[in-house]
Structure 1
Amino acid sequence: MNSSTSLKMRLPALVLVFEVVMLILFALFVTYDDNANARLQNNETNPMENSLYRDYPYFADVQVMIFVGFGCLLAFFRFYGFSGMVFNFLTATFAIQWAIVIQGFFQFYYDGKIHLGVINLLNAEFACAVVLISFGAVIGKTSPVQLLVMALLEIPIFSVTEWAVLKYIRITDSGGSILIHLFACYFGLGVTFVLYRPSLKKGHSNEITSYQSDILSVMGTLFLWVFWPSFNSALTLKGDDQHRAVLHTFIGLSSSTITAFALSAVFNKKGKLTMADIQNVTLAGGVTVGASVDMMISPVAAYALGIMGCTACYFGYRYLTPFLAQRLRIQDQCGIHNLHGLTGLISSTAGICAILLATEETYGPSMYQIFTHRAPPVGDPKLLELQKLIPGLKPGLGRTAQEQALYQVAAIFATIAASAVGGLLTGMVLKLRFMASPSDKDCFDDELFFDVPSDFDRGHQALISYDEKLKMSSMDTKVASKNLSE
């Protein structure tokens, strides 16, 4: 192995530093929240009212998405399966640990401590999903050292952006279309723009799939598909809001799936299905309903959003991804701009429309629970009336629907700007010489960072042999043409 890409010292040293820092931070700042603290339990405490039973099912579902869904989905390259799954495993584990601390300072910090419960883990997994989506833009072209450093930098940038948008702009984004999908997309595009490789402009010989890798990847799609309703509904208000979120997500995913099959067949020259479409485009509906997932948008709107998201995603893969690579120096390996960027913009627009159309006639008094920013402020007589109907309703900002829609637009632009700038700066750090970045020749190749089994070599040699035969065949054809002309 080339010494410039050896992990022998780089990876252990980096992990050691991370673990020492994490031990210090956990020792100084992290304690249990009330539901996990034994000292606060007594004979009047009902164990079944513990928040574990409310939050853990969603945490478990998102766990499956993070480690199995994303892991399998990223194993689509024939000679990069180990790296796709294992680097996902490594990066996700670190990102969750780091997010627990960083998000803790913004969301769960009081009494000089971060109070740790299952809800912290769930929030940290959403931050981790941001990192893994961004990973899709640079898969195959980065080392595990670069990916850990990328997570190290992206989590704080994301957490600050999330905190600023939610605290000061104050938006509604239950499914994370703005703060998860758009942020992750444009951060990843910023990183891959800086890491642009001119020699890969026309592709790489290892950028191929196999029968087995495509099956493994579509298994990842199925895991993501099945658990996406939990992802979209986990942080919504319990009760009817969460119920709608599950329904809308399933409907959106269903309509995008059957649309993806139709588009794949009709635009294939041979009228056949393409596995890349099944692996990615089918998931578009889960993103497209995200911003309005808990609102009273109606089932038919969720169905239509699934179709719209799928269509935009499909044509994005077909036309926009090649354009970005050829003209704008953005080599987006997994097409995250299609599945998360375009669909995130559609979802955000739909959310704004839903906010503008929301009325008390449709929602009843509960409108001010969903759109908390429209609730009357302190001192408004209407607030007292609403609190009689909805005990526990908190004062809002008294915004009109039009005002809130403008704040949503501001949040979209602010999030895209923060993520793109953060991605560009992170990309500059990842270009430093000691990051073990693979050479152009070694991209998309497990053998660079793994001890691989013998059948991997045979498969590799078979591909090389096949390429050589093609070159020889091409040379023979040219020689024959030349002889004929003479």
Structure 2
Amino acid sequence: MKKSTSLKIRLPALVLVSEIVFIALYAGFVTYDTDANAKLQDNMTNPMENDLYKDYPVFVDVQVMIFIGFGCLLAFLHRYGFGGLVFNFLTATFAIQWAILVQGYFQFYSGGKIHLGVVNLLSAEFACAVVLISYGAVLGKTSPVQLLVMALLEVLIFSITEWAVLNYLRINDAGGSILIHIFACYFGLGVTFVLYRPSLNNGHANDATSYQSDILSVMGTLFLWVFWPSFNSAVTFKGDDQHRAILHTFIGLSASTLTAFALSALLSQRGKLTMADIQNVTLAGGVTVGASVDMMISPVAAYILGAVGCIACFLGYKYLTPFLAQHCRIQDQCGIHNLHGLTGIISCLGGIWGIMMANEDTYGPSLYQTFAHRAPMEGDPRLHELQQLIPGLQPGLGRTASEQALFQVAAMFSTIGVAAVGGIATGFVLKLPFLASPSDECCFSDKPYFQVPSDHESVAVPKLPEVPEDTKV
């Protein structure tokens, strides 16, 4: 008997209840921050010093990545274009609204209120990116109701993990390699492990692309590629740190792109490029430079990280993804383990190397801004001396480079553990029978959840003519 996938009651009920709860929480606990509150402005206030002008340009760039970049990238299946784009839109909007509240409690809560500004929206979009990366592991195999429930739980678990890691382990992770990419990857793998569908390992008629869907997906890749420097540099110190972050991200992405084209042609059976490689592997460099993106690692190190990350990502798609599906019950539909997991671990190792190499000869006094944990503790005479050179420098933890490296390792493994356990627990929740999960035969299709146009069934994977033998190299 086929499962009911009707959204008539399920989706409106979930959305309505959520909106009532959100309205109550926003009414009771959310107010404007200083720069958005008219009552706190006077004739001495310089409007151009408002945080809006520092954070909004980056916020817009991340918006494009979230709603257009991810949406188009996830629309690569020939009969799941609506699902890839529209469920991304729905899930992202829901996740951001919820993250403003949850992250606001941990990061922006003061005087009984969450103080709302553009920086809150930016932080919430990072939490949203976590959910959308995890969505890639279960793409086409879940209903919109399941996706909203996953977002509800994942944002909560992510926000608690983020708060604990940043406040107690105190790590360097400007580009979010640990707290965004690694967390999202292993959470998504935990979910798909529980939602395992054995029959899908034998192939599925809808698990294929078309000429048009591949073009749309590459458009998503291009949007992500162009705006990734803003994503990696958003939370770095303004000035030279942010400048380096943009440079390193661009160099890393450029290196991974060139390497991806070379590997795609070299390792294909007929020396042809594969669109899946262009859509995904080209982005690996943006992840692999993330943990060290604001450090003085040198441009050549960013280039090497981009190329190495690309190689690991490419080999992961070619060999590891099929192995995980066949032997480990992990059906990673979009290969998030390759683009975000493997590259995230490489990025962490690069960040540890950057931490170990950092010293005052390279950074000068700004060492203690980029690595705030290495600043002297309160009462240390050296702190007063540094504060004369760097006004506003806060007391640190007095850690050595080796000590900080150990904290980075601890953060990586603890994040993987929490994410995997949280994903597995969430997967069991998503298996509840009333969440409108599609049957195996209805996976990777828009038809169960959309009123599709009349030509939906006629959309087929085009069979291109073979290249004549005499043109092959």
- The CA deviation at 1:459 is 2.5
Q: Which residue of 1 aligns with 2:91?
A: 91
- The CA deviation at 1:43 is 1.3
Q: Which residue of 1 aligns with 2:172?
A: 172
What secondary structure does 2:456 align onto?
helix
Q: Establish whether residue 15 from structure 1 lines up as the match of residue 10 from structure 2.
A: no
Query: Structure 2: how far apart are the matches of 1:276 and 1:457?
Result: 23
Q: Which residue of 2 aligns with 1:484?
A: none
Q: Establish whether residue 423 from structure 1 lines up as the match of residue 423 from structure 2.
A: yes
Q: Which residue of 2 aligns with 1:469?
A: none
What secondary structure does 2:148 align onto?
helix
- The CA deviation at 1:105 is 0.3
Query: Where do residues 244-255 of structure 1 align in structure 2 (5 Å cutoff)?
Result: 244-255=244-255
Query: Structure 2: how far apart are the matches of 1:204 and 1:21?
Result: 40
Query: Structure 1: how far apart are the matches of 2:243 and 2:144?
Result: 39
- The CA deviation at 1:83 is 0.3
Residue 220 of structure 2 aligns with an amino acid whose one-letter code is G
Q: Which residue of 2 aligns with 1:258?
A: 258
Q: Which residue of 2 aligns with 1:158?
A: 158
Q: Rate the CA distance shift 1:204–1:111 in 2: closer, same or farther, 3 A.
A: same
Query: Structure 2: how far apart are the matches of 1:311 and 1:212?
Result: 27
Q: Which residue of 2 aligns with 1:313?
A: 313
Residue 133 of structure 1 aligns with an amino acid whose one-letter code is I
C-alpha distance after superposition, 1:320-350 (max 9, x if no partner)? 0000000000000000000000000000001
- The CA deviation at 1:398 is 0.3
Q: Establish whether residue 77 from structure 1 lines up as the match of residue 77 from structure 2.
A: yes
Q: Establish whether residue 329 from structure 1 lines up as the match of residue 329 from structure 2.
A: yes
Residue 94 of structure 1 aligns with an amino acid whose one-letter code is F
- The CA deviation at 1:458 is 2.4
Q: Structure 1 runs of 4+ off > 6 angstroms?
A: none
Identity score, percent:
76
C-alpha distance after superposition, 1:401-449 (max 9, x if no partner)? 0000000000001100000000000000000000100000000011110
Instruction: Tell me if structure 1 keeps the 8 A contact 2:142–2:438.
Output: yes
Query: Structure 1: how far apart are the matches of 2:458 and 2:299?
Result: 52
Q: Which residue of 1 aligns with 2:123?
A: 123
Q: Establish whether residue 33 from structure 1 lines up as the match of residue 70 from structure 2.
A: no
Structure 2: 5+ residue stretches without partners? 464-473
Query: Where do residues 183-198 of structure 1 align in structure 2 (5 Å cutoff)?
Result: 183-198=183-198
Q: Which residue of 2 aligns with 1:475?
A: none
- The CA deviation at 1:457 is 2.5
Query: Structure 2: how far apart are the matches of 1:202 and 1:248?
Result: 42
Query: Where do residues 294-313 of structure 1 align in structure 2 (5 Å cutoff)?
Result: 294-313=294-313
- The CA deviation at 1:371 is 0.5
Query: Structure 1: how far apart are the matches of 2:196 and 2:3?
Result: 23
With structure 2 as the length reference, what TM-score do the two structures score? Answer: 0.97
What secondary structure does 2:353 align onto?
helix
Instruction: Tell me if structure 1 keeps the 8 A contact 2:228–2:286.
Output: yes
Q: Which residue of 2 aligns with 1:228?
A: 228
What secondary structure does 1:433 align onto?
coil
Q: Which residue of 2 aligns with 1:216?
A: 216
Query: Structure 2: how far apart are the matches of 1:440 and 1:190?
Result: 19
- The CA deviation at 1:268 is 0.9
Query: Structure 1: how far apart are the matches of 2:321 and 2:315?
Result: 9
Query: Where do residues 434-445 of structure 1 align in structure 2 (5 Å cutoff)?
Result: 434-445=434-445
Q: Which residue of 1 aligns with 2:467?
A: none
Query: Structure 2: how far apart are the matches of 1:457 and 1:288?
Result: 40
Query: Structure 2: how far apart are the matches of 1:47 and 1:82?
Result: 43
Query: Structure 1: how far apart are the matches of 2:336 and 2:65?
Result: 16
- The CA deviation at 1:57 is 0.2
C-alpha distance after superposition, 1:198-256 (max 9, x if no partner)? 11112211101000000000000000000000000000000000000000000000000
Q: Which residue of 1 aligns with 2:468?
A: none
Q: Which residue of 1 aligns with 2:469?
A: none
- The CA deviation at 1:3 is 6.7
RMSD across aligned positions (CA): 1.2
What secondary structure does 1:129 align onto?
helix
Tell me whether 76-85 or 451-460 shows the greater mean CA deviation: 451-460
Instruction: Tell me if structure 1 keeps the 8 A contact 2:99–2:127.
Output: yes
- The CA deviation at 1:46 is 1.1
Query: Where do residues 269-284 of structure 1 align in structure 2 (5 Å cutoff)?
Result: 269-284=269-284
Q: Establish whether residue 413 from structure 1 lines up as the match of residue 433 from structure 2.
A: no
What secondary structure does 1:31 align onto?
strand
Query: Structure 2: how far apart are the matches of 1:410 and 1:178?
Result: 11
Query: Structure 2: how far apart are the matches of 1:104 and 1:38?
Result: 21
Query: Structure 1: how far apart are the matches of 2:88 and 2:229?
Result: 22
Q: Which residue of 2 aligns with 1:476?
A: none
Residue 287 of structure 1 aligns with an amino acid whose one-letter code is V
Q: Which residue of 1 aligns with 2:471?
A: none
Q: Which residue of 2 aligns with 1:368?
A: 368
Instruction: Tell me if structure 1 keeps the 8 A contact 2:73–2:216.
Output: yes
Q: Which residue of 2 aligns with 1:285?
A: 285
C-alpha distance after superposition, 1:368-416 (max 9, x if no partner)? 0010001000000000000000000000000010000000000001100
Residue 335 of structure 2 aligns with an amino acid whose one-letter code is G
Query: Structure 1: how far apart are the matches of 2:297 and 2:157?
Result: 32
Structure 1: 5+ residue stretches without partners? 467-486
Residue 23 of structure 1 aligns with an amino acid whose one-letter code is I
- The number of residue pairs the alignment matches comes to 463
Query: Structure 2: how far apart are the matches of 1:190 and 1:313?
Result: 20
- The CA deviation at 1:2 is 6.1
